């Protein structure tokens, strides 16, 4: 067998960037020239800012190539495969020579993402070669009891990675304690924030790890039914999950007497959801599985006592389950070496926004915000200043730059007014208007409200109306106080986590950036120069060359002036569209 492997990243992010064309090109060249190398598929490596990615593994080591197109694929075949000469200019990770991208990987500890970008996700044999199902086999061969499994998970310090951060072992213990001949283990793969990109990548890249975690969870609580609730917008994840389920059945990891454990029967199937954000809340999720409208219900009773079909049920998210096999196989003590006293292990974050290196990173809890943004993320784009980061998805909070040394664990993040959520991390620079940002996130949560709770249904709309007025220059004294009052009413009177956290972006931006709200309301100015109705476009006489481009492009003929003469903007005619600003090549148009 050839020792050289060529592996193409075919997660959704890679496919969107053109990786399928690269794979097809490599396949065609291999066949046409009868080349002796193994061509394989994998999923997202996490380095999304360098997609498409192609890895070549040969006797000299591993070479990860980034931003590969069909032409570069031809070069890789000719130079690296045939001439055995790696192309340094395209390499983004290699032990042979430095690439400048090492910081993206150096601080990471991959447990949940341990196999993503490493194995071929549709081949169970690849998973088995990476200690796949070894944790389940360990339970079977060593006779580890249900109570012992739960204790291991409790001792590890693993907290739910879906947002609430409830201790996983304790949650399993509650479900275990309620006797029933029918119990359910449920995987929540329906979260609709930036962190859901992480869930999707895990399902696409290592579906068997999620299945194994669910099977172990089912054994621990005594469940005999498993359901993965996944949004239908993730077709590749669903495809690979169904392949993995079929393979697990064939190998005896699902079905009757799993792994030879007498009486332990478990089947798992995928339930496709309609993508409602509220169905990330466990009781709304279960209502949807039952065929009802996805709306939360009052608790108690909690799902551990009366969940799906009113039977004892346990719900964890994708990342939580992906950690379980590693914890059981390596032990609670090994896992708890990472993280902090109250937040054990690692956490996956989806980095996005005004950052140089966007993608997926997995870091030990206890790392600081600044370390993630400036070391792993490579800092802010175009040399701009770091202003804030929004943590926890659409209903997370905005943390200002001066709190960048805050460590990331559940309690520390909560103290800032943000939440861990499922791992969304949206980075903002000095050009971001924090009032507009709060409006953006609230617009999402207001639309996603199921409407059951009056305060959530109506209160978020009233808040959105106030924020819209403020960004359009119609803010009034007292608006800030109204926003704060409505926020607390919504938090106190909403039934589920959506309403209870929806005001977070507003409260944190008021808390840390109140001066921007006041500037919008009192001075009718947007300090970040983002809100168009509050901007004034003027022409700098010293920079204007009279090229007439701005006048020709202005849709309302608000700009006048002769060729090679200084132009003027009629403010009464200006509709603040910004076309002149974007078209001027001499930076002669300024915003105030």
The pLDDT of residue 537 is 94
Q: In whole numbers, what is the pLDDT of the chain averaged over residues?
A: 94
Instruction: Tell whether 529 is covered by a domain.
Output: no
pLDDT band of residue 454 (cuts 50, 70, 90) is: very high
pLDDT band of residue 341 (cuts 50, 70, 90) is: confident
> Residue 377 phi/psi, 5° resolution?
-80, -10
Provide the angle, in degrees to the nearest 10, between the axes of the packed helices 207-221 and 196-205: 100
pTM of whole model > 0.85? yes
**387 and 241, same structural domain?**
no
Half-sphere exposure of 32 (CA within 13 A, CB side): 8
Instruction: Tell whether 291 is covered by a domain.
Output: yes
Instruction: Tell whether 108 is covered by a domain.
Output: no
Q: What is the CATH number of the domain that holds 76?
A: 3.40.30.10
In percent, the amount of the chain with pLDDT more than 70 equals: 99
- Which residues, 6 or more positions from 30, have their beta carbon under 8 angstroms from its beta carbon? 37, 39, 77
The pLDDT of residue 280 is 86
**260 and 179, same structural domain?**
yes
Give the gyration radius of the chain's Cα atoms: 27
**128 and 66, same structural domain?**
no
Query: What are the pLDDT digits (tens) for 175-203?
Result: 999 999 999 999 999 765 544 678 899 99
**170 and 131, same structural domain?**
yes
Mean pLDDT over residues 306-326, rounded? Answer: 97
Instruction: Tell whether 290 is covered by a domain.
Output: yes
Three-state SS at 375: helix
Helix (H) or strand (E) run with residue 75 in it: helix 70-75
For 379, left (φ over 0), alpha (ψ -120 to 50), or beta?
Answer: left
Place of tokens 């962190």: 195
Beta partners for 230? 189, 272
Q: What is the CATH number of the domain that holds 135?
A: 3.40.50.11540
Q: What is the CATH number of the domain that holds 581?
A: 3.30.70.20
pLDDT band of residue 333 (cuts 50, 70, 90) is: very high
The pLDDT of residue 192 is 55
In a 10 Å sphere around its CB, with 0-12 CB exposed, 13-18 middle and 19+ buried, how is residue 489 labelled?
A: middle
Q: What is the CATH number of the domain that holds 384?
A: 3.10.20.600
Q: Domain count for the chain, please give it.
A: 5
| Contact criterion met (CB below 8 Å) for 221 and 215 | no
Mean pLDDT over residues 457-468, rounded? Answer: 97
**545 and 573, same structural domain?**
yes
Alpha-carbon span 153 to 576, nearest angstrom: 57
The pLDDT of residue 423 is 86
**245 and 224, same structural domain?**
yes
The pLDDT of residue 194 is 47
Query: What are the pLDDT digits (tens) for 59-77?
Result: 999 999 999 999 999 999 9
* Residue-number span of the structural domain to which 462 is assigned: 434-523
The pLDDT of residue 1 is 42
Instruction: Tell whether 105 is covered by a domain.
Output: no
Residue ending a domain, among 281, 302, 336, is: 336
**271 and 162, same structural domain?**
yes
- Closest CA relative to residue 6, chosen from 45, 57, 51: 57
**498 and 584, same structural domain?**
no
- Closest CA relative to residue 453, chosen from 273, 278, 572: 278
Q: What is the CATH number of the domain that holds 486?
A: 1.20.1440.230
Mean pLDDT over residues 97-112, rounded? Answer: 92
Instruction: Tell whether 110 is covered by a domain.
Output: no
**284 and 142, same structural domain?**
yes
Mean pLDDT over residues 546-553, rounded? Answer: 94
pLDDT for 412 beyond 60:
yes
The pLDDT of residue 191 is 63
| Contact criterion met (CB below 8 Å) for 452 and 295 | yes
Instruction: Tell whether 116 is covered by a domain.
Output: no
**587 and 519, same structural domain?**
no
Place of tokens 């996130």: 441
**295 and 352, same structural domain?**
no
> Residue 497 phi/psi, 5° resolution?
-65, -25
Query: 482 vs 4, 118, 226, 491, CA distance in Å?
Result: 65, 51, 45, 14
The pLDDT of residue 164 is 78
pLDDT for 223 beyond 70:
yes
In percent, the amount of the chain with pLDDT more than 90 equals: 89
Three-state SS at 217: helix
Instruction: Tell whether 326 is covered by a domain.
Output: yes
Helix (H) or strand (E) run with residue 6 in it: strand 5-9
Query: What are the pLDDT digits (tens) for 558-567?
Result: 999 999 999 9
Q: Which residue has the higher pLDDT, 276 or 317?
A: 317
Residue ending a domain, among 523, 544, 575, is: 523
Residue ending a domain, among 100, 132, 162, is: 100
**236 and 190, same structural domain?**
yes
> Residue 124 phi/psi, 5° resolution?
-60, -30
């Amino acid at each position: 067998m050839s020792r050289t492997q060529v592996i193409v990243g075919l997660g959704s992010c890679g496919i969107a960037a053109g990786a399928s064309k690269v794979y097809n090109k490599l396949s065609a060249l291999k066949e046409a020239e009868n080349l002796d190398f193994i061509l394989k598929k994998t999923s997202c490596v996490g380095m999304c800012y360098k997609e498409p990615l192609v890895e070549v593994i040969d006797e000299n080591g591993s070479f990860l190539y980034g931003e590969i197109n069909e032409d570069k694929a031809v070069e890789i075949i000719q130079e690296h495969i045939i001439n055995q000469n790696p192309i340094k200019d395209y390499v983004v990770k290699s032990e042979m020579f430095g690439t400048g991208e090492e910081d993206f990987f150096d601080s990471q500890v991959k447990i949940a993402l341990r196999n993503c970008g490493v194995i071929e996700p549709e081949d169970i044999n690849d998973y088995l070669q990476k200690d796949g199902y070894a944790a389940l086999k360990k339970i079977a061969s060593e006779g580890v009891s249900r109570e012992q499994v739960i204790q291991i998970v409790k001792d590890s310090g693993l907290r739910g990675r879906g947002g609430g951060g409830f201790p996983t072992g304790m949650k399993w213990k509650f479900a275990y304690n309620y006797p029933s001949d029918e119990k359910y283990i449920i995987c929540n793969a329906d979260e609709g924030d930036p962190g859901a990109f992480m869930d999707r990548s895990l399902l696409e890249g290592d579906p068997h790890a999620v299945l194994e975690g669910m099977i172990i969870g089912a054994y621990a609580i005594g469940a005999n039914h498993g359901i993965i609730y996944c949004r239908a917008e993730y077709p590749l994840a669903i495809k690979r999950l169904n392949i993995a389920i079929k393979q697990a059945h064939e190998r005896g990891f699902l079905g009757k007497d799993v792994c030879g454990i007498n009486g332990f029967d478990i089947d798992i199937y995928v339930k496709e959801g309609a993508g409602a954000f509220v169905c990330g809340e466990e009781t709304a999720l279960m209502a949807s599985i039952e065929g009802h409208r996805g709306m939360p219900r009052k608790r108690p009773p909690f799902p551990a006592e009366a969940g799906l079909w009113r039977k004892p049920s346990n719900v964890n998210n994708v990342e939580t389950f992906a950690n379980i096999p590693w914890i059981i196989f390596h032990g609670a003590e090994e896992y708890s070496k990472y993280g902090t006293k109250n937040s054990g292990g690692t956490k996956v974050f989806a980095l996005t926004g005004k950052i140089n290196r966007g993608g997926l990173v997995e870091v030990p809890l206890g790392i600081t915000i600044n370390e993630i943004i400036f070391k792993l993320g490579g800092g802010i784009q175009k040399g701009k200043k770091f202003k804030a980061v929004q943590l926890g998805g659409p209903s997370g909070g905005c943390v200002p730059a001066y709190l960048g040394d805050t460590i990331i664990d559940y309690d520390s993040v909560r103290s800032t007014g943000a939440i861990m959520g499922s791992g969304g991390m949206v980075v903002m620079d000095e050009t971001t208007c924090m009032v507009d940002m709060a409006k953006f996130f609230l617009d999402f949560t207001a639309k996603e409200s199921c409407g059951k709770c009056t305060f959530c249904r109506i209160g978020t709309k009233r808040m959105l109306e106030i924020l819209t007025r403020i960004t359009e220059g119609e803010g009034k004294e007292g608006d800030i106080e109204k926003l704060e009052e409505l926020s607390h009413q919504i938090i106190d009177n909403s039934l589920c986590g959506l309403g209870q956290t929806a005001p977070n972006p507003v409260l944190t931006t008021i808390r840390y950036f109140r001066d921007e709200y006041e500037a919008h309301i009192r001075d009718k100015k947007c300090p970040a120069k983002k809100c168009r109705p509050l901007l004034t476009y003027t022409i700098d006489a010293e920079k204007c060359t009279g090229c007439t481009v701005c006048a020709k492009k202005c849709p309302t003929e608000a700009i006048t002036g002769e060729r090679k003469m200084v132009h003027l903007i009629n403010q009464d005619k200006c509709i603040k569209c910004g076309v002149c600003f974007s078209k001027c090549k001499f930076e002669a148009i300024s915003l105030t």
